[in-house]
Amino acid sequence: MHSQARSKKAVVVGAGPVGCLAAMMLAKRGWQVFLYEGREDLRQPSTKAAAQQRSINLAISHRGIAAIHAVSPEAAERFMQTVIPMKGRMIHHLDGRLDSQLYDRDGQCINSIDRALLNEGLLDEVSRSPNVRMFFRHKIRFIDFNRKVLTAEDLGHGQEHTVDFDFCVGADGSYSTVRRQMMKVVRMDYQQEYIKHEYVELKMPAGHDTPGRPTFQLDPNHLHIWPRRSYMLIALPNKDNTFTCTLFAPSVELDRLSPPEVFLPWFKSNFPDALKAIGEKNLIHDYTHNPRSPLICTKSNPYHYKDRGILLGDAAHSMVPFYGQGLNCGLEDVRVLKVLLDQEEVESNSPTGPDNLEDERLARALLRYSQERHQDLVAISDFAMNNYVEMRHLVTTPLYLFRKVLDGWLYRLSSHSTLPVTSLTTKLTSQTYDEREPRGWLPLYTMVTFRPDISYDTARRTASRQTQILTTATYVGATILCVSGLWLARTVKTWIR
C-alpha cells in the first residue's frame, strides 16, 4: 500500500492496452484513477463487430508479458490462456517451398493475439479495481497542465465538463491529444514520418476438412511470411482457426494495383498458396472493402512535464510493426515507470512525507523516465524500421542465412540459456529493469524479444559489439587463409623444383 498518494487523482487518457495497464498500476499505488476513452466500451455486444473489423493481430512476447506480470501476476496468467504461441517464422517461397526459421534455440515463442481480445481482457482487469472510474465516449479537448485541469467532452450527450487532476497519463495513441497539449508547455522535440508503404488486412478463413470441425489452413504455430523483396504478406493465427493476413506494399504499387482485375492476377502470381487458402471471392471482398492504412513512425523527447504529465506507448513513440514490438514496448513503458516510481520511493528517506515531497519524488521519477527511456525507444524504433527490409527480402538471401547460422552457433556455445517467461517475470519483480552487461553471446532478436531484463539500448550496444567481433573474425580468418594459401603455394613450388 502506498498510503501517501491515497487522495491524489490521476487521469489516464486512452483505454487501449497501455492505458489500461497504466491505470491498473496507478490504482495499485493508491491513486484515484479516471480513465477516459473516446470510443465506446469494446466489451459491449453492439460494438464488438465493429471493433473486430478494424482489429489487427499482435505478436506479444516476453516484454509485454513481463510488464503485465509486474502490475498483476494474475492478469498475466489469465492472459496467457488466450494466445497462440508461434515458435518461428515460416517462409513461403514463390516456388511453394516452405522454410521454418525458429525464433529461439530453447523453444521460446512469441504469441499471436487479437488486439480487441487483449484489450477486452485488460478492460476486465481494470474493472476489478475499485480505485478506477472509466468514461467511454469521452474526448479530451484541452489540458491546462499548469492549472492541472482538463476539458472532456461527453460525446454521448455533447456536453463539456472540466476535470481537475494531479497527474495525467497520455496513452492516446499516435495522434495523441495529450502530446499536442503537452507541447504547449514543454519544449518537445518531435518527429513523425510516413513511410512510403501501406498495409491492407485480408482474412484467411478456417479450413473444413471434416464437416463441422474447423481447422487451420496453415501451421498455427508459426508467423507466416511471403517475402517478395519490395512487398510482403504475413499471416498470424487466431483462436477461431482463421488467420489474419496483412499485405504490405509501396503506396505507388497499391495505386497501380487498385482495380481488382489487376490485383487478382498479381496476387495469384506472387502468393499462389495464400490465394488458394483465402479464396478469390474473400480476397477481392477484403481488398476492396478494407482500408489502405498508413505506416507512421513518431519520436518525441522529453516524455514528461514536471510532476504532472507523461506520455506512454504510441502517444510517445509509434513505430512500424516489423519487429512486433510496438505493443510490447508500450506495455514495458508502464513497467519502467513503475520501477522508477518504486526506486524513488525507496531512495527517499521519508516515505510518508508531506505533499510537496511526494510531488518532488514523482517529478524526479518522470525526469529519470525521460532521460533513461529515450535511447531505448530510439533503438527499438530503428530496429523496427530495419526489420522491414529483413522480413520482406533479406530472410531469403544466403548471407543473411549464413550470419544467422553463425549467430546461433555462437549463442549455443555460450553458457547462457533463455529463461522461460515465468522465471523471468519473477526475476523482474526486483527493482531493476536493465542488465547493463549481458553475459555470453546473444543474437539481437533474442535480446529484443525474449530478454526484457536487457533494455533495447543495451541490446543495440551488445549487438553492435558482436557484429564488430564477427567482422574482425572474418578479416582475421580471411588473412590466415590467404597467408596459409601463399605458404602452401610456395612450398609446392619448391617441391616441384
Query: Which residues are at the interface with a copy of itself (CB under 8 A)?
Result: 180, 187-194, 294, 296
φ and ψ of 338, to 5 deg = -60, -45
Contact 63, 452 (CB under 8 A): yes
Q: Angle at CA 328, nearest 5°, toward 238 and 433?
A: 145
CB nearer to a copy of itself: give 292 or 393.
Answer: 292
> Which are the contacts of 216, defined by CB distance < 8 A and separation ≥ 6?
206, 207, 237, 241, 243
d(CA 144, CA 185) in angstroms, rounded, equals: 9
Q: How far is the CB of 193 from a copy of itself (least distance, A)?
A: 5
Omega before 302 within 30 of 0, i.e. cis: yes
CB nearer to a copy of itself: give 8 or 179.
Answer: 179
Residue type at 214? Answer: P
CB nearer to a copy of itself: give 6 or 196.
Answer: 196
How many helices (DSSP H) and strands (DSSP E) are in the chain? 16, 21
* Helical segments of 81-148, H only: 115-127
- How many residues can be counted in the chain? 497
Q: How far is the CB of 211 from a copy of itself (least distance, A)?
A: 47
Q: How far is the CB of 245 from a copy of itself (least distance, A)?
A: 24
CB nearer to a copy of itself: give 244 or 300.
Answer: 300
Q: How far is the CB of 248 from a copy of itself (least distance, A)?
A: 16
* Block residue for cell numbers 510532476: 307
Contact 12, 171 (CB under 8 A): yes
Helix, strand and coil percent figures for the chain, each rounded to 5: 50, 25, 30
Q: How far is the CB of 191 from a copy of itself (least distance, A)?
A: 3
Strand ranges inside 93-188, DSSP E: 98-102, 110-114, 132-135, 138-144, 149-154, 159-164, 167-170
CB nearer to a copy of itself: give 190 or 402.
Answer: 190
Contact 172, 13 (CB under 8 A): yes
Q: How far is the CB of 407 from a copy of itself (least distance, A)?
A: 34
Q: How far is the CB of 302 from a copy of itself (least distance, A)?
A: 11
Contact 13, 170 (CB under 8 A): yes
CB nearer to a copy of itself: give 193 or 240.
Answer: 193
Q: Cα–Cα distances in Å, from 424 out to 367, 419, 451?
A: 27, 6, 8
d(CA 10, CA 12) in angstroms, rounded, equals: 6
User: Helix or strand or coil: residue 182?
Assistant: helix
Contact 333, 18 (CB under 8 A): yes
Q: How far is the CB of 448 from a copy of itself (least distance, A)?
A: 26
CB nearer to a copy of itself: give 7 or 192.
Answer: 192
CB nearer to a copy of itself: give 124 or 193.
Answer: 193
Strand ranges inside 274-323, DSSP E: 293-301, 304-305, 309-311
CB nearer to a copy of itself: give 102 or 363.
Answer: 363
Contact 454, 447 (CB under 8 A): yes
Q: How far is the CB of 171 from a copy of itself (least distance, A)?
A: 21
d(CA 388, CA 48) in angstroms, rounded, equals: 31
Q: How far is the CB of 229 from a copy of itself (least distance, A)?
A: 24
Q: How far is the CB of 28 from a copy of itself (least distance, A)?
A: 36
CB nearer to a copy of itself: give 141 or 161.
Answer: 141
Closest-CA residue to 151 (of 137, 170, 164):
164
CB nearer to a copy of itself: give 63 or 374.
Answer: 374
